[in-house]
Amino acid sequence: MKATPLDQERLLELQKIDTQILQAEHRQKTLPELAEITRLNHEIAEITQQRNELAVEHSDIKRELAKAEEDVEQVRSRKKRDEARLASGTGSAKDLENLQHEVVTLDRRIAELEEVELEVMVRFEEAEQQISALAERISSLESEKTSIESVVNSKVDEIVNELVRLSSDRKNLSSTIDGELITLYEKIRGDRDGLGAAEILRRRCTGCQLDLTAADAAKFAATAPDEVIRCEECRRILIRTADSGL
Protein backbone atom coordinates (compact mmCIF):
# COMPACT_ATOMS: atom_id res chain seq x y z
CA MET A 1 0.00 0.00 0.00
CA LYS A 2 1.12 3.52 -0.76
CA ALA A 3 0.33 6.71 1.14
CA THR A 4 1.97 10.10 1.02
CA PRO A 5 4.50 10.89 3.76
CA LEU A 6 2.12 13.65 4.87
CA ASP A 7 -0.74 11.16 5.27
CA GLN A 8 1.55 8.88 7.24
CA GLU A 9 2.56 11.75 9.52
CA ARG A 10 -1.09 12.63 10.00
CA LEU A 11 -1.82 8.99 10.81
CA LEU A 12 0.73 9.15 13.61
CA GLU A 13 -0.98 12.28 14.93
CA LEU A 14 -4.31 10.45 14.70
CA GLN A 15 -2.87 7.61 16.74
CA LYS A 16 -1.77 10.09 19.40
CA ILE A 17 -5.34 11.43 19.58
CA ASP A 18 -6.77 7.89 19.76
CA THR A 19 -4.34 7.06 22.56
CA GLN A 20 -5.42 10.17 24.45
CA ILE A 21 -9.07 9.13 23.99
CA LEU A 22 -8.34 5.66 25.38
CA GLN A 23 -6.46 7.17 28.32
CA ALA A 24 -9.30 9.59 29.06
CA GLU A 25 -11.88 6.79 28.92
CA HIS A 26 -9.71 4.68 31.23
CA ARG A 27 -9.42 7.56 33.70
CA GLN A 28 -13.19 8.00 33.62
CA LYS A 29 -13.74 4.33 34.52
CA THR A 30 -11.00 4.12 37.15
CA LEU A 31 -11.35 7.33 39.14
CA PRO A 32 -10.14 6.48 42.68
CA GLU A 33 -13.28 8.12 44.05
CA LEU A 34 -15.41 5.46 42.32
CA ALA A 35 -13.76 2.75 44.41
CA GLU A 36 -14.43 4.81 47.54
CA ILE A 37 -18.09 5.21 46.56
CA THR A 38 -18.34 1.44 46.07
CA ARG A 39 -16.83 0.91 49.52
CA LEU A 40 -19.25 3.39 51.08
CA ASN A 41 -22.22 1.77 49.34
CA HIS A 42 -21.16 -1.60 50.74
CA GLU A 43 -20.75 -0.19 54.25
CA ILE A 44 -24.08 1.67 54.06
CA ALA A 45 -25.81 -1.53 52.93
CA GLU A 46 -24.29 -3.52 55.80
CA ILE A 47 -25.22 -0.95 58.44
CA THR A 48 -28.71 -0.56 56.97
CA GLN A 49 -29.21 -4.31 57.27
CA GLN A 50 -28.02 -4.18 60.88
CA ARG A 51 -30.43 -1.33 61.59
CA ASN A 52 -33.34 -3.18 59.96
CA GLU A 53 -32.63 -6.34 61.93
CA LEU A 54 -32.35 -4.32 65.12
CA ALA A 55 -35.62 -2.55 64.29
CA VAL A 56 -37.36 -5.93 64.15
CA GLU A 57 -35.81 -6.86 67.51
CA HIS A 58 -36.81 -3.45 68.90
CA SER A 59 -40.41 -4.06 67.80
CA ASP A 60 -40.41 -7.45 69.52
CA ILE A 61 -39.05 -5.92 72.72
CA LYS A 62 -41.70 -3.20 72.54
CA ARG A 63 -44.42 -5.85 72.55
CA GLU A 64 -42.62 -7.65 75.38
CA LEU A 65 -42.49 -4.39 77.35
CA ALA A 66 -46.18 -3.74 76.79
CA LYS A 67 -46.93 -7.24 78.11
CA ALA A 68 -44.71 -6.69 81.16
CA GLU A 69 -46.41 -3.35 81.90
CA GLU A 70 -49.81 -5.00 81.52
CA ASP A 71 -48.83 -7.80 83.92
CA VAL A 72 -47.69 -5.26 86.54
CA GLU A 73 -50.85 -3.21 86.14
CA GLN A 74 -53.09 -6.26 86.54
CA VAL A 75 -51.44 -7.26 89.83
CA ARG A 76 -51.51 -3.65 91.08
CA SER A 77 -55.24 -3.45 90.31
CA ARG A 78 -55.85 -6.65 92.22
CA LYS A 79 -53.86 -5.35 95.16
CA LYS A 80 -55.90 -2.12 95.18
CA ARG A 81 -59.11 -4.08 95.25
CA ASP A 82 -57.85 -6.20 98.18
CA GLU A 83 -56.68 -3.10 100.05
CA ALA A 84 -60.07 -1.48 99.47
CA ARG A 85 -61.82 -4.52 100.94
CA LEU A 86 -59.45 -4.49 103.93
CA ALA A 87 -60.10 -0.80 104.47
CA SER A 88 -63.86 -1.39 104.43
CA GLY A 89 -63.50 -4.05 107.16
CA THR A 90 -66.23 -6.13 105.60
CA GLY A 91 -65.99 -9.85 105.89
CA SER A 92 -65.00 -12.34 108.56
CA ALA A 93 -61.76 -12.15 110.50
CA LYS A 94 -60.49 -15.16 108.54
CA ASP A 95 -61.31 -13.47 105.24
CA LEU A 96 -59.56 -10.30 106.31
CA GLU A 97 -56.49 -12.25 107.42
CA ASN A 98 -56.38 -14.04 104.06
CA LEU A 99 -56.66 -10.71 102.31
CA GLN A 100 -53.69 -9.37 104.28
CA HIS A 101 -51.61 -12.40 103.28
CA GLU A 102 -52.67 -11.94 99.69
CA VAL A 103 -51.66 -8.27 99.71
CA VAL A 104 -48.18 -9.26 100.96
CA THR A 105 -47.95 -11.91 98.25
CA LEU A 106 -49.08 -9.41 95.62
CA ASP A 107 -46.43 -6.93 96.80
CA ARG A 108 -43.75 -9.56 96.19
CA ARG A 109 -45.29 -10.41 92.82
CA ILE A 110 -45.36 -6.74 91.85
CA ALA A 111 -41.67 -6.41 92.81
CA GLU A 112 -40.80 -9.44 90.67
CA LEU A 113 -42.79 -8.18 87.71
CA GLU A 114 -41.30 -4.69 88.03
CA GLU A 115 -37.84 -6.26 87.86
CA VAL A 116 -38.83 -8.01 84.64
CA GLU A 117 -40.35 -4.77 83.34
CA LEU A 118 -37.16 -2.85 84.17
CA GLU A 119 -34.97 -5.43 82.45
CA VAL A 120 -37.14 -5.30 79.33
CA MET A 121 -37.17 -1.50 79.44
CA VAL A 122 -33.35 -1.43 79.60
CA ARG A 123 -33.14 -3.71 76.56
CA PHE A 124 -35.74 -1.55 74.78
CA GLU A 125 -33.78 1.65 75.41
CA GLU A 126 -30.46 0.04 74.45
CA ALA A 127 -31.94 -1.16 71.15
CA GLU A 128 -33.37 2.33 70.57
CA GLN A 129 -29.97 3.93 71.19
CA GLN A 130 -28.26 1.46 68.88
CA ILE A 131 -30.79 2.14 66.12
CA SER A 132 -30.24 5.87 66.56
CA ALA A 133 -26.45 5.43 66.43
CA LEU A 134 -26.69 3.33 63.27
CA ALA A 135 -29.00 5.90 61.67
CA GLU A 136 -26.50 8.65 62.47
CA ARG A 137 -23.68 6.54 60.99
CA ILE A 138 -25.69 5.94 57.81
CA SER A 139 -26.44 9.66 57.55
CA SER A 140 -22.73 10.47 57.97
CA LEU A 141 -21.73 7.94 55.31
CA GLU A 142 -24.41 9.21 52.93
CA SER A 143 -23.12 12.75 53.41
CA GLU A 144 -19.55 11.61 52.74
CA LYS A 145 -20.73 9.73 49.66
CA THR A 146 -22.56 12.81 48.35
CA SER A 147 -19.40 14.90 48.71
CA ILE A 148 -17.34 12.32 46.83
CA GLU A 149 -20.00 12.01 44.12
CA SER A 150 -19.75 15.77 43.64
CA VAL A 151 -16.01 15.41 43.06
CA VAL A 152 -16.61 12.51 40.66
CA ASN A 153 -19.19 14.49 38.70
CA SER A 154 -16.76 17.39 38.38
CA LYS A 155 -13.95 15.13 37.17
CA VAL A 156 -16.24 13.25 34.79
CA ASP A 157 -17.44 16.55 33.32
CA GLU A 158 -13.82 17.53 32.66
CA ILE A 159 -13.09 14.18 31.02
CA VAL A 160 -16.27 14.32 28.92
CA ASN A 161 -15.31 17.79 27.70
CA GLU A 162 -11.84 16.48 26.89
CA LEU A 163 -13.36 13.55 24.96
CA VAL A 164 -15.63 15.89 23.01
CA ARG A 165 -12.63 17.99 22.02
CA LEU A 166 -10.53 14.95 21.12
CA SER A 167 -13.36 13.41 19.11
CA SER A 168 -13.72 16.65 17.15
CA ASP A 169 -9.96 16.78 16.52
CA ARG A 170 -10.02 13.14 15.43
CA LYS A 171 -12.88 13.71 13.00
CA ASN A 172 -11.19 16.72 11.46
CA LEU A 173 -7.82 15.00 11.15
CA SER A 174 -9.09 11.65 9.85
CA SER A 175 -10.98 13.44 7.06
CA THR A 176 -7.62 14.60 5.66
CA ILE A 177 -6.07 11.11 5.51
CA ASP A 178 -6.42 8.67 2.63
CA GLY A 179 -9.41 6.39 3.21
CA GLU A 180 -7.56 3.17 2.39
CA LEU A 181 -4.87 3.97 4.93
CA ILE A 182 -7.51 4.80 7.55
CA THR A 183 -9.29 1.50 6.89
CA LEU A 184 -6.08 -0.48 7.41
CA TYR A 185 -5.26 1.54 10.53
CA GLU A 186 -8.70 0.95 12.07
CA LYS A 187 -8.47 -2.80 11.43
CA ILE A 188 -5.05 -3.08 13.04
CA ARG A 189 -6.09 -0.80 15.91
CA GLY A 190 -9.04 -3.05 16.63
CA ASP A 191 -6.77 -6.08 16.81
CA ARG A 192 -3.93 -4.46 18.72
CA ASP A 193 -5.44 -2.86 21.84
CA GLY A 194 -6.15 0.47 20.19
CA LEU A 195 -2.66 0.94 18.74
CA GLY A 196 -2.67 0.70 14.96
CA ALA A 197 0.29 2.91 14.05
CA ALA A 198 3.62 3.41 15.76
CA GLU A 199 6.64 5.60 15.23
CA ILE A 200 10.07 4.13 14.57
CA LEU A 201 12.14 5.84 17.24
CA ARG A 202 15.90 5.26 17.20
CA ARG A 203 15.42 2.01 15.30
CA ARG A 204 12.76 0.74 17.71
CA CYS A 205 9.09 0.04 17.10
CA THR A 206 7.21 2.08 19.70
CA GLY A 207 4.27 -0.31 19.29
CA CYS A 208 5.83 -3.54 20.53
CA GLN A 209 8.95 -1.82 21.97
CA LEU A 210 11.30 -4.16 20.10
CA ASP A 211 14.43 -3.00 18.33
CA LEU A 212 14.50 -3.44 14.57
CA THR A 213 16.88 -6.03 13.25
CA ALA A 214 19.74 -4.69 11.13
CA ALA A 215 18.13 -6.25 8.09
CA ASP A 216 14.73 -4.66 8.76
CA ALA A 217 16.30 -1.28 9.45
CA ALA A 218 18.19 -1.44 6.19
CA LYS A 219 15.07 -2.54 4.30
CA PHE A 220 12.95 0.26 5.75
CA ALA A 221 15.65 2.82 5.02
CA ALA A 222 15.68 1.76 1.39
CA THR A 223 11.87 1.72 1.08
CA ALA A 224 10.26 4.60 -0.78
CA PRO A 225 8.81 7.29 1.54
CA ASP A 226 5.30 6.76 0.13
CA GLU A 227 5.36 3.01 0.81
CA VAL A 228 3.41 1.96 3.92
CA ILE A 229 5.60 -0.31 6.05
CA ARG A 230 4.64 -2.56 8.94
CA CYS A 231 6.47 -4.01 11.92
CA GLU A 232 7.57 -7.58 11.33
CA GLU A 233 6.77 -8.42 14.98
CA CYS A 234 3.49 -6.68 15.88
CA ARG A 235 2.29 -5.90 12.32
CA ARG A 236 1.42 -2.32 13.22
CA ILE A 237 1.88 0.44 10.63
CA LEU A 238 5.30 1.99 11.14
CA ILE A 239 5.82 5.71 10.63
CA ARG A 240 9.28 6.99 9.76
CA THR A 241 10.33 10.34 11.22
CA ALA A 242 13.51 12.35 11.58
CA ASP A 243 14.14 10.51 14.87
CA SER A 244 13.83 7.02 13.37
CA GLY A 245 17.58 6.60 12.98
CA LEU A 246 17.30 4.91 9.59
CA 219 – CA 53 distance, rounded (Å): 75
Q: Which residue among 152, 174, 196 closes a domain?
A: 174
Domain count, the chain: 2
Residue 103 belongs to a domain: yes
CA atoms within 13 A on the CB side of 241: 17
Residues 200/233, Cβ–Cβ less than 8 Å: no
- The H or E element containing residue 41 is helix 32-88
165 in any annotated domain: yes
Examine residue 79 and state whether it is found in any structural domain, yes or no.
yes
Using only the alpha carbons of the chain, give its radius of gyration.
42
CA distances from 67 to 17, 73, 74, 120, 122 (A): 74, 10, 10, 10, 15
Residue 119: inside a domain, yes or no? yes
Residue 239 DSSP symbol: E
66 and 188 in a common domain: no
pTM, whole model, 2 decimals?
Answer: 0.74
pLDDT at 122: 96
CB atoms within 10 A of CB 56: 9
The whole-number pLDDT of residue 104 equals 87
Residues 6+ apart with CB under 8 A from 167: 21
* Whether residue 208 is found in the same domain as residue 89: no
Residue 98 lies in a domain: yes
Pick the closest to residue 101 from 120, 125, 83 (CA basis).
Answer: 83
Residues 43 and 101 in one domain: yes
DSSP, res 194: T
Contact 237, 230 (CB under 8 A): yes
**What is the predicted pLDDT for the residue at 96?**
76
Instruction: Going residue by residue through the chain, which has 246 residues, state the pLDDT in tens, using 9 for 90 and above.
Output: 999 999 999 999 999 999 999 999 999 999 999 999 999 999 999 999 999 999 999 999 999 999 999 999 999 999 998 888 888 877 777 877 888 898 889 999 999 999 999 999 999 999 999 999 999 999 999 999 999 999 999 999 999 999 999 999 999 999 999 999 999 999 999 999 999 999 999 999 999 999 999 999 999 999 999 999 999 999 999 999 999 998
CATH number for position 155: 1.10.287.1490
